Chains A and B, each alone.
Chain A
Amino acid sequence: MSAGAPPDPDPAPEHVLVTPPPVEAEPVPDVGARPEPAPAAPSSREDAPPPSTVSTPYGLAPVDVDAAPAALLAVSADGARLVATPQPEARTADGYLRMTARILLEFQKQDLRSIGVVSAYEGEGRTAAAVNLAVCLGRAKGRVGRVLLVDGDARRRALSKMFCGPDAPGADGEGRPHPMLIGTALDGVDLMTAPVLDDGLTVTSPAAWIATFRELGAMYPHIVVDCPAVLENPEGMVLRECVQQIVLVARAGASTRTLVRKTLGQTAAKVLGVILNGAPPGGATEAWR
């Protein structure tokens, strides 16, 4: 895979139907402005879009971020909604900020576009990590362009359901286009809904994912892919190979080294960072190697 390649002049595959989101124009970020405050206090942002008023032409359900539009997000207990954490723990905010900074630095140095968030199994906090990374990237000061959050799990469709409701596009197999690019209530973050199982973007066609990411990379400088669980869903292994960089999500006390090795496979060199969820308090917050 060619990481960070410019948009391919070749025409896109026929089965890939990407429609630019008909959302409102994103205000041009002021590069070089004063430093961005931590997400722990995002309410101070003045350029935040009006919450819960963002609607898409597809009638998407609004995200429940009214109370604290700039807060970090967590997956609700039923796994169907994203809930805001208006006052996240400082260590959590620091962790995501550092990971965001690392991603921005690497993208700037290597002209990268796509980054996959992978985990071994479900329940390790991968979706929440992907959303929060997209949120942090979307609020990054000096960002150019929008951030695309990709729901790569055609089976669970968690992100699609969270942002679009149970009747997410493509879930019913009706004539709605899929996957689709839709706007979200998050700052500068768009969502690409999950493909359907009989779509071209399946485990049987990794080249389609590569071509899609190449095409989207021309429009989005930052693509965050919520990959399926690698050891549960074969599509996770495909997406793991298709993205340019990887952020691994593990859960302290539950994940094992063996599972981490199996999760990364031959792509360990592409791992940009690791988010260790549920780490014991007082533990190390980062470790460079």
Chain B
Amino acid sequence: MSGLSALVRKVAAAAFERRWIFAVPVATLLAPAALYVVRLPDTYTARVGISVRQVNAERVGVALPTMQDFRPEQILATARDRVLQAPNVAAMVPVLWPKGNPKDDWTIERARARVMYDQAGDARFSLSIVDTSPARAAEAVNTLVDAFIENERAARVAVVERRRDFLEAEAGKAREAFDAVLAEKDAFRRAHPDTMPDQRETITSDLHRIEQEMRERENDAQRNRLMVPEVDKWMKSAVPAAGTDAGRASLSADEQMAQLKLTSAQAALDQASRQLAELRVKYTDSYDRVQLALAQVQLLEGQVTRAKDELDAAKKRADADTSSRRRADNQELMASMRTFRDSLVAEEKAARAAVDELRARAADLSRRLGEIPATADALRKLQTALEGADQTRLRAEEAARNARVAADFYRNADPAETVGFAVESRAIPPVSPSGPSRTRWLASAVALGLGIGYGLHVLRRRYVDEDVVADADDLADLVPGALVVSVPMLGAGPARRRGAWVDLVCGAWVVVCIGVTAFALGCHRGWIETPSWFRPFVAGRS
């Protein structure tokens, strides 16, 4: 005999010995459990599948409010609490209990307890309701889901509209601030029309031009002033020669005129050269004043060359002209010289008057040029403030525009796109019942009976059978040193078999309980025809 079979036989023997301790509680609990479960009505489970979607910018565009940009697992973590909020649950109270009060907290709590929330995966969950009526279960759970979606959408629309109103108000404030800064800038421009920074180049150019013109005028006045003594000197020397026939010893009128032009041109050239030298000491040749001086020197050099050419030509003509007409010419020349001298004097006065006027204009331009930096600084500050206000205005208007788009989107779009929950499958009235789990009830009764039997077995061993000798080991410690052998009983000894009435009573009770259980389950399953007196006790299929 192997150890395992010996153990099995030992266990079987022990179980048979204690059969009533286990069988009676099991049968006693099994019978009422069977009567109870066959009376339970069938229940139906209606289920709605909902998937979680992340409401992100890719789906709804820039209109998405940033606070709604949750991940699916974040949405799923709070989905149960959001579904079972009182307004949602209250919507299905009239379905479950037509006379129920949706505002009663206790009623809402009862309805909430009937909703089963099951999460399936990372982005899906289901809501189910168990009811004895399949149509009512489906309608209730659909009502709950509709209320949940609608309330979620309304809450989001309210949030978006509040955000839109706030951003529009902020955009209005930004526009007002921008207009105020712009008006201040315009007023400043009007208050400083001659000293704006953009006039710096014009004023500088005018100032240079005036200075150049004033210098030319001064040169003209200086040249005329220098030519007057020369003319006087020439006239004095020319008067005696005009009364005599000096022949070729004296200069002809053309020669004298050419000589005079040459002299004046040379004098102007010398003065211009000196000024050019002075400017070159201070400035480079690229400086505009130096350029002007160079141009003037070149011009005067040309005049000197032409004057020399005219003088040579006059000498040639004088050599050839030996007639008496020279005298008359001299007289005419003198008259011309006087006229020329008078014109020189007049031109000098006019040049000096022009110089004075130009100097006054240059002083005014210099003053305006000196005020430009302060004006530019103030204007720069105003411009900076204006740019800031403009950017603020643009941002606020952009945000307000987005908020308007978002509000329109949340008000008109599909709720599945805006609330983050999409109903994948709505509940339909189930055809087959989902409960009650009668097998579980019966198994629980059996398990409880076995547990009670084990407890009774333990108590009996603890308080009744503790002293009983069951095997050789129980005697070994009482008789140390003795050989203990265990043998089966030889023959049918005179000892009477005890507990026969216990077997009779317990066996009868177990048979009755098992019979009741089999009868109840058979009636419920339709295996046997249910008697009329038992029909009130059977619900469901029978």
Contact = CB atoms under 8 A, between A and B. Distances in A.
Nearest to B478: A260
A256 B474 CA distance: 9
A257 B10 contact: no
Nearest to B17: A253
20 contacts: A89-B488, A124-B495, A132-B490, A250-B475, A251-B469, A252-B469, A253-B17, A254-B495, A257-B468, A260-B478, A273-B483, A274-B483, A275-B485, A276-B485, A277-B490, A280-B471, A282-B6, A282-B13, A286-B472, A289-B482
A98 interface: yes
A165 to B, nearest CB: 18
Interface stretch (A74-82, A179-187, A188-196, A209-217): A74-82
B484 A72 contact: no
- Pick from A85, A99, A257 the residue with the most CB of B within 10 Å: A257
B487 A277 contact: yes
Contacts of A98: 483, 485
A279 B491 CA distance: 14
Contacts of B482: 248, 271-274, 289
B494 A91 contact: no
A162 to B, nearest CB: 12
Contact of A258 (B6, B7, B467, B492): B467
A261 to B, nearest CB: 6
A281 B495 CA distance: 19
Which A-B residue pairs are the 10 nearest by beta carbons?
A74-B491, A279-B486, A123-B495, A95-B485, A282-B6, A74-B490, A273-B483, A256-B467, A95-B487, A276-B486
Interface of B: 1, 5-7, 9-10, 13-14, 17, 467-496
A25 interface: no
A72 B479 contact: no
Interface residues of A, number: 60
Contacts of B478: 257, 260-261, 264, 268
A283 B484 CA distance: 12
Interface in A220-261: 248, 250-258, 260-261
B488 A250 contact: no
B159 to A, nearest CB: 78
A263 to B, nearest CB: 10
B471 A252 contact: yes
Contacts of B486: 91, 95, 252, 275-276, 279, 283-286
Nearest to A126: B493
Contact of A77 (B7, B17, B469, B492): B492
A278 interface: yes
A88 B490 CA distance: 8
A279 B479 contact: no
B202 to A, nearest CB: 127
A132 B488 CA distance: 14
A109 to B, nearest CB: 13
B469 A257 contact: yes
Contact of B485 (A99, A256, A268): A99
Contacts of B470: 252-253, 280
A272 B485 CA distance: 11
Interface in A71-116: 72-79, 83, 85, 88-89, 91-92, 94-96, 98-99, 102
A122 B489 CA distance: 14
A250 to B, nearest CB: 6
A128 interface: yes
Contacts of B10: 280-283
Contacts of A276: 469, 471-472, 475, 484-487
Contact of B474 (A92, A128, A257): A257
A99 to B, nearest CB: 6
Contact of B1 (A271, A282, A286): A282
